[in-house]
Amino acid sequence: MSEKQARITDIGPPHHDKFLPPVIKENYGKWKYHENPRPGVLVHVSHSGAKIWSVRCATPRILSVISIRKICELADKYADGYLRFTSRNNFELLITKEANVDPAIKEAIAIGYPVGGTGNSLSNIVHTQGWVHCHSAATDASGVVKAVMDELFVHFQEQKLPAKLRIALACCLNMCGAVHCSDISILGVHRRPPKADDANLGKICEVPNLIASCPTAAIRPTTKNGVATVEIEEEKCMFCANCYTVCPALPINDALNDGVSIWVGGKVSNARSTPSFSKLAIPWLPNTPPRWPEVVSAVKNIVDVWAKDARPYERVGEWVSRIGWPRFFKKTGIEFTKHHIDDFKHCGGTFATSTQMRHNG
Amino acid sequence: MSDELKINVEGVGELAVDEDGFIEDPGKWSEAVAKHLAGTEGVTELSEDHWKLVNYLRNYYMEFNIAPMIRKLCKETGFNLKKVYELFPSGPAKGACKVAGLPKPTGCV
Amino acid sequence: MTDNVKKHETPLLDELLKGPWPSFVKEFKTLQDKKAVANDLLGQLEYSYKTKLGYWKHGGIVGVMGYGGGVIGRYSSLAEMFPAVKHFHTIRVNQPAGWFYTSKALRTLCDIWEKRGSGITNMHGSTGDIVFLGTNTEELEPIFEELTKEGFDLGGSGSNLRTPSCCNGQARCEWACYDTMGLCYDLTQTFQDELHRPQFPYKFKIKMAGCPNDCVASIARSDLSIIGTWRDNIQMDQSAVLKYASDGLDIQKIVVMNCPTKCLDWNGKELKIDNSNCVKCMHCINVMPKALAPGKDRGATVLLGSKAPIIEGAMLSSVLIPFIKLEPPFKELKDVIGRIWEPWAEHGKNRERIGEFIERVGKGNFLEEVGIDPVPEMVKHPRENPYIFYDEYLEDE
Ligand code: HEM
Ligand code: HEM
Ligand code: HEM
Ligand code: HEM
Ligand code: SF4
Ligand code: SF4
Ligand code: SF4
Ligand code: SF4
């Protein structure tokens, strides 16, 4: 190797053409329709008559290289080495021979990758890093996801829900997992104001940026023991942790107060109703590792009530629009509290301003 | 901050740094410190242009207590982004801010 | 490598080995014998489970030469107990469009990552990148060299263009109204400098979905959402509609009554669509994919500004261009992207997403700045308050 080899930079990702199975290359943009012969399998049919079967398998998102190689073996054996991952952390074997579909399903399940997530089912939970990798986490991500999916597993395998069910989890309000438009969102929340590390704050943080970072203007500059630091007006703090994002000397994580909130009724697709945010269902549940039983049963309860009550193709939010929020709380048995009433900027628009109500029901 | 990481700067003595090599107390910065830190960022020699950038960052920080946004930096030094990366290959945030003794940049990754 | 290292006991995490869903704990355990870093990661995570707190220090700043993003510095605050995760940096690797791979390409990535890092990945991160979780500062340059030699490059992080991502579009979906993967690749290549060298007030994400189903959640998860749609009539095969009916589909209840604009009419023999009132929501097509399809005059709606709550509250993207044709080389779109970046990059405040910027300066003013005419498609309804800002007023001579 020569000493001064030209460094390769700015090449971008490899072109996807290199990774497409021949049947996709030949039929790119020429697909006519698809069918869903069984849960977890889609077959796309081209105008030319060509077909491709996709077998969707769940992963825990965290994958070791050892598991990825096992998945590669599966792809080699049944799909000529072609596969893709989905936007919700599943992988799909791209199979051209129908006879390979059933054995592929069998083997995927046998080595630990369940098949499902298509049609009116629950797909994988989009989630974030949690205690596995992030400083900001108010809860773990992977552990909660695992516990919830274990409980709701049947809905991944079957397609018997009224509509698609999309659950997302983010371990803090930064919401790297982008949870705010899901049927059910699981969101880690802090509940104790940050405590300034006065001795170091002035040295390691940019105080003007720190003050500007607070959405409620709760942070003021001050001096303690002769050093510049900041003071938090605790009654103004809504625990967003934005200040901590810009300044490590304002730790906010707290074992006693951190926990999990549950939001419902959002969606991103434009089908029927327009995309919408999820709304608060449960402000706080405790962090109870390793299996978060309170969170699991709260999510299961909402899913059960919705699955029983919704009409076909009614997503959680569409169901609530039809029956109304009062009845959502009544049917799920979830308590409505003052925390459910918005008190941030522009909150007035969320107050009820009509006499229309379902008193008798 | 519990880690006892230190650098030894000739003529200055020991200075505490964090894992990424940013000095922990921006008040302890000096030109000698800058020269030392430049070495850790693959800059062997601080040219006039390097100093122009470092001094701009330093003065901005002393005045406003924050680092300037990248556009402002380019505009006010007259260096385009390409030039900034030529001067500090590890980039304006990791390279130039470190050498200028500013606090470690934070924000959303 | 870790023969003489004691395996950490993980009674709490072991509970997560149980149950039918694939277990992330198992992923760490498969590497525990081979990699000290997997063992210490398990140890630290078990400690988090015991104490209900995370133990990662606030983000570090590390990277490769010439780039300002792509690597996220991460250090353990329990390095004395778990030395192998003292450094545990993340590398974001730009995924191929649509997340298509061959097993050969995946194995190449695995080999690099097993040699130079923890062997633990996320397939994929929520922006779309392949995420390599956990390596040392010294390994960063070698990993970068080995990745680029194999044709892979880093993704974005920090205040730059983040790795664009897209649905699988025309590769495997009959509803794709433009070539999402082609556009994704093209934009990623066109904007390499913006991707690798932060130059914006804050992050900027682009996501591309082929149709209004929006399988990549672009309307919620990207500053620039490019969502396929059409502007002529839905294509219909009347005999296939009848087949759905005779197979037992209640067309009135499931399809017609769910149409948001009541533009479907079914008399038991024929389905009629008032296409002039169809808002292209996809519902009827989703239910009867063999009978209905998007029209032939296809393109996309371009929307701008979605973001998570931080700082001023969550936003969905809102309409910038109601309809645009998207054919290579996508000149018009690229031109628009350049024009929307300019005022934001110039006047945006530190850590102000473009959606917040537009709210601050006013969407009307923003449109004027980027040279796009206001049209009613851009709003849910005209303003309700009378607080109108006029730029100038008349005065007597
Ligand atoms: C009321 C409840 C909310 C619901 C139901 C909700 C739901 C969602 C959903 C479904 C997504 C896309 C998720 C996916 O499909 O992966 C999303 C993304 C996101 N949400 Fe929310 N969300 C809510 C509130 C919020 C709030 C309060 C914030 C911020 C303060 C927020 C910030 C975000 C962000 C940042 C994204 C990703 C956007 C991006 O990629 O930049 N959400 N949300
Ligand atoms: C507003 C402030 C935000 C901050 C301070 C923040 C901070 C972080 C941090 C520290 C990590 C690293 C986790 C790790 O160590 O691996 C991370 C990862 C990530 N963040 Fe954010 N984040 C923010 C918002 C967002 C939003 C709005 C999105 C997307 C919509 C996002 C997407 C991601 C992604 C994709 C990752 C990679 C890991 C993953 O997929 O879980 N972040 N973020
Ligand atoms: C019957 C109609 C639909 C078809 C044929 C369809 C097709 C697809 C395809 C091909 C994917 C893989 C996309 C990718 O990862 O790039 C996908 C994923 C997805 N689609 Fe759709 N889609 C349909 C309707 C919808 C609707 C109505 C929604 C939302 C309301 C939706 C939400 C999603 C989500 C969240 C994913 C990620 C799925 C996963 O990983 O399991 N889809 N869909
Ligand atoms: C475009 C701006 C607006 C126009 C042109 C407008 C015009 C009017 C007019 C002509 C009336 C009837 C007065 C009457 O019957 O004697 C009225 C009444 C009223 N307007 Fe507005 N209005 C506007 C905006 C608003 C807004 C933004 C609000 C509140 C948010 C508002 C609240 C009311 C109320 C409460 C009344 C009833 C007053 C009463 O009967 O005593 N208006 N407005
Ligand atoms: S959501 Fe919060 S805690 Fe979770 S990975 Fe993102 S920044 Fe970290
Ligand atoms: S947590 Fe949020 S509200 Fe509380 S002080 Fe920090 S920035 Fe302000
Ligand atoms: S967004 Fe539309 S075109 Fe893209 S995969 Fe989903 S259904 Fe198909
Ligand atoms: S696409 Fe939606 S709006 Fe259009 S006809 Fe079908 S259901 Fe109605």
In this predicted model, what pLDDT tens digit does every residue of C91-140 receive, in sequence order? 999 999 999 999 999 999 999 999 999 999 999 998 999 999 999 999 99
Q: Which pLDDT score, from 0 to 100, does residue A178 have?
A: 65
DSSP result, C42-102: HHHHHHHHHHT---BPS-B----TT-SSSEEB-BBTTTTT-GGGSB--EEEEPPPGGGEEE
Q: Is the pLDDT of residue B109 over 60?
A: no
Give me chain A's average pLDDT, please: 95
**Which residue is listed with tokens 């030894």?**
B8
Q: Which of B24, B27, B67 sits opposite A206 (nearest CB)?
A: B67
Are B97 and B85 contacting, i.e. CB atoms less than 8 angstroms apart? no
How far is it, in rounded angstroms, from Cα C42 to Cα C32? 8
Q: What digits encode the pLDDT tens for the residues C82-102?
A: 999 999 999 999 999 999 999
Radius of gyration of chain A (CA): 24
Ligand 8 centroid, distance to C280 Cα (angstroms): 5
User: What is the distance of C-alpha A192 from the center of its chain?
Assistant: 24
Q: Do B27 and A247 touch (CB under 8 A)?
A: no
Are C164 and C127 contacting, i.e. CB atoms less than 8 angstroms apart? no
| pLDDT mean over B60-88 | 92
Q: Do A7 and C65 touch (CB under 8 A)?
A: yes
**Which residue is listed with tokens 């649905």?**
C167
How far is it, in rounded angstroms, from Cα C23 to Cα A295? 18
Question: Which amino acid would we find at residue C243?
Answer: K
Q: Which pLDDT score, from 0 to 100, does residue B2 have?
A: 41
DSSP 8-state secondary structure symbol assigned to residue A79: H
Give SS3 for C145: helix
DSSP result, A102-157: HHHHHHHHHTT--B---SSSB-PPB---GGGT-SS-SS-SHHHHHHHHHHTHHHHH
Say if residue B41 is exposed, middle or buried (CB neighbours under 10 Å; 0-12, 13-18, 19+).
middle
**Count of C-beta atoms within a 10 Å radius of residue B5:** 13
Pick from A284, A294, A286, A305: which is nearest to A183 by CA? A305
How far is it, in rounded angstroms, from Cα A87 to Cα A91? 9
Residue A345, beta-bridge partner list: none
Interface of B with C (CB under 8 A): 2-3, 18-20, 22, 42, 66, 69-71, 81, 85, 89-94, 104-109
How far is it, in rounded angstroms, from Cα C177 to Cα C325? 10
Q: Which of C60, C199, C350 sits opposite B81 (nearest CB)?
A: C199
Q: Do B26 and A203 touch (CB under 8 A)?
A: yes
**B–C: how many Cβ contacts below 8 A?**
66
pLDDT band of A1, cuts 50, 70, 90: very low
A258 touches chain C (CB under 8 A): yes
Phi and psi at residue A39, in whole multiples of 5°? -55, 135
Are C122 and A91 contacting, i.e. CB atoms less than 8 angstroms apart? no
Q: Which helix (H) or strand (E) holds C266?
A: strand C264-266
A7 touches chain B (CB under 8 A): no
pLDDT band of C3, cuts 50, 70, 90: very low
CA atoms within 13 A on the CB side of A169: 28
Helix axes A316-323, A325-332, angle to 10 degrees: 110
CA distances from A103 to A75, A98, A99 (A): 12, 10, 8
Are C194 and C161 contacting, i.e. CB atoms less than 8 angstroms apart? yes
The fraction of chain A above a pLDDT of 90, given in percent, is 90
Q: Which pLDDT score, from 0 to 100, does residue C1 have?
A: 46
Q: What digits encode the pLDDT tens for the residues C25-63?
A: 999 999 999 999 999 999 999 999 999 999 999 878 899
Pick from A117, A140, A222: which is nearest to A187 by CA? A140
Q: What digits encode the pLDDT tens for the residues C159-217?
A: 999 999 999 999 999 999 999 999 999 999 999 999 999 999 999 999 999 999 999 99
Q: What digits encode the pLDDT tens for the residues C335-365?
A: 999 999 999 999 999 889 999 999 999 999 9
Phi and psi at residue B13, in whole multiples of 5°? 105, -160
Q: What digits encode the pLDDT tens for the residues B5-17?
A: 889 888 888 999 9
Q: Which pLDDT score, from 0 to 100, does residue C2 have?
A: 46
Kindly report the CA angle at C380 between C379 and C385, in degrees rounded to 5?
85
Q: Which pLDDT score, from 0 to 100, does residue B4 have?
A: 66
| pLDDT mean over A115-121 | 97
A176-180, B54-58, C193-197 — which is least confidently predicted? A176-180
The fraction of chain C above a pLDDT of 70, given in percent, is 98
**Residue partners of A119: CB distance under 8 A and separation at least 6:** A36, A39, A159, A164
Which subunits sit against A, judged by 3+ Cβ pairs under 8 A? B, C
Catalytic positions of B are 108
How far is it, in rounded angstroms, from Cα A47 to Cα A191? 57
Q: What digits encode the pLDDT tens for the residues A129-160?
A: 999 999 999 999 999 999 999 999 999 999 99
Q: Is the pLDDT of residue A318 over 60?
A: yes
Which subunits sit against B, judged by 3+ Cβ pairs under 8 A? A, C
How far is it, in rounded angstroms, from Cα A208 to Cα A61? 38
Q: Which pLDDT score, from 0 to 100, does residue B108 have?
A: 56
Give me chain C's average pLDDT, please: 95
How far is it, in rounded angstroms, from Cα C365 to Cα C363? 5
| pLDDT mean over A345-355 | 85
**Which residue is listed with tokens 């040392």?**
C136
Q: Is the pLDDT of residue A2 over 60?
A: no
Are A298 and A288 contacting, i.e. CB atoms less than 8 angstroms apart? no
pLDDT band of A163, cuts 50, 70, 90: very high
Are C39 and C4 contacting, i.e. CB atoms less than 8 angstroms apart? no
In chain A, the largest separation of any two C-alpha atoms, in whole Å, equals 83
Say if residue A4 is exposed, middle or buried (CB neighbours under 10 Å; 0-12, 13-18, 19+).
exposed
A175 token code pair: 């919401």
Q: Which pLDDT score, from 0 to 100, does residue A4 have?
A: 52
**Residue partners of B60: CB distance under 8 A and separation at least 6:** B66, B67, B68
**Residue partners of C175: CB distance under 8 A and separation at least 6:** C210, C211, C213, C228, C282, C285, C293, C294
DSSP 8-state secondary structure symbol assigned to residue A347: G
Cis-peptide into A290, omega within 30 deg = yes
C30 token code pair: 């498969």
How far is it, in rounded angstroms, from Cα C349 to Cα C224? 19
Q: What digits encode the pLDDT tens for the residues C253-302?
A: 999 999 999 999 999 999 999 999 999 999 999 999 999 999 999 999 99
Q: Which pLDDT score, from 0 to 100, does residue C6 have?
A: 85
User: Model-level pTM?
Assistant: 0.86
Determine if residue A313 is left, alpha or beta; phi over 0 gives left, psi from -120 to 50 gives alpha, anything else beta: left
Residue A219, beta-bridge partner list: A232
Q: What is the ipTM for the molecules in this complex? A: 0.92
**Which residues on C lie below 8 Å from A68 (Cβ)?**
106-107, 109-110, 121, 123
Question: Which amino acid would we find at residue C393?
Answer: Y
Q: Is the pLDDT of residue A86 over 60?
A: yes
Pairing of strands A184-189, C292-293: unpaired
Q: What digits encode the pLDDT tens for the residues A20-71?
A: 999 999 999 999 999 999 999 999 999 999 999 999 999 999 999 999 999 9
pLDDT band of C389, cuts 50, 70, 90: confident
Q: Which pLDDT score, from 0 to 100, does residue C241 have?
A: 98
How far is it, in rounded angstroms, from Cα C147 to Cα C64? 12
Q: Do A180 and C314 touch (CB under 8 A)?
A: yes
Q: What digits encode the pLDDT tens for the residues A325-349?
A: 999 999 999 999 999 999 988 888 8
Pairing of strands A259-264, A227-232: unpaired
User: Does residue A172 line the site of ligand 5, with CB under 6 A?
Assistant: yes
